[in-house]
Amino acid sequence: MRIAVARETDAGEPRVAATAETVKKLAALGAEVAVEEGAGIRSGITDSDYAAAGATLGNNVTNGADIVLKVRRPSASELSGYKKGAIVIAIMDPYGNDAAIKALADAGVTAFAMELMPRITRAQSMDVLSSQANLAGYRAVIDAASEYGRALPMMMTAAGTVPAAKVFVMGVGVAGLQAIATARRLGAVVTATDVRPAVKEQVQSLGAKFIAVEDDEFKQA
């Protein structure tokens, strides 16, 4: 079986569909893994890393591949190089993109949308949404701290005391919880809100204050 790891064509997409570690595991299962040259550069993975893991490097590696791994859904121009019957595994973003999904069907490939993977125990390691949301929550605070231009923690100096920055997180899902944790680690005073009463304890466990909208659901909780 030939598995191809394609380079992302979107200029704003730095991720790659497989790491050197993943390639090593696939090769150990007996698969022939081909990685497009430069596919991992923007993710900090060099071609030599892939080669050391057992992959072959080249261009147009998707030609003749049985399985194609991508981060984002392949474009119509990319699909022209895929063989009929190939399995394409990526984030497909199908809703509202009927033409792009039709292109996949017309190309005769079998598409697996990773973001539609059921969130069950057996599939946790394949949950692309939670892992990326976790990173997004972290990065949101780091970027906000950079834009803020001042220190987040309280600073006691010879010239006086600088109070800690106040951070407000709206929405306490996977990304929100990571944002709270990151802001707290940086020394900010954090408050958060969510429409679900059940997350109050999670917010408090991270050292933040929960602000609730006093509707009927919260009164019953």
Is the pLDDT at 19 greater than 70? The verdict is yes
For the chain, what are the domain ranges?
2-116, 133-220
Backbone angles phi, psi at 30, to 5 degrees: 100, 5
Q: How buried is 85 (Cβ within 10 angstroms: 0-12 exposed, 13-18 middle, 19+ buried)?
A: exposed
2-116 falls under which CATH superfamily? NAD(P)-binding Rossmann-like Domain (3.40.50.720)
**pLDDT above 70: percentage of residues in the chain:** 96
CB count, 10 Å around CB of 5? 28
Top pLDDT among 3 and 119 is at 3
Is the pLDDT at 215 greater than 70? The verdict is no
Considering the entire predicted model, what is its pTM? 0.81
In tens, the pLDDT along 34-75 reads: 999 999 999 999 999 999 999 999 999 999 999 999 999 999
Lowest-confidence segment of 45-49, 104-108, 135-139, 193-197 by average pLDDT: 193-197
Topology at the third CATH level for domain 133-220:
Rossmann fold (3.40.50)
3-class state of residue 179 by DSSP: helix
Q: Do domains 2-116 and 133-220 have the same CATH topology?
A: yes
Question: Angle at Cα 213 formed by Cα 208 and Cα 215, nearest 5°?
Answer: 140
Task: List, in order, residues 6 or more apart from 7 with CB less than 8 Å away.
Answer: 16, 36, 37, 38, 39
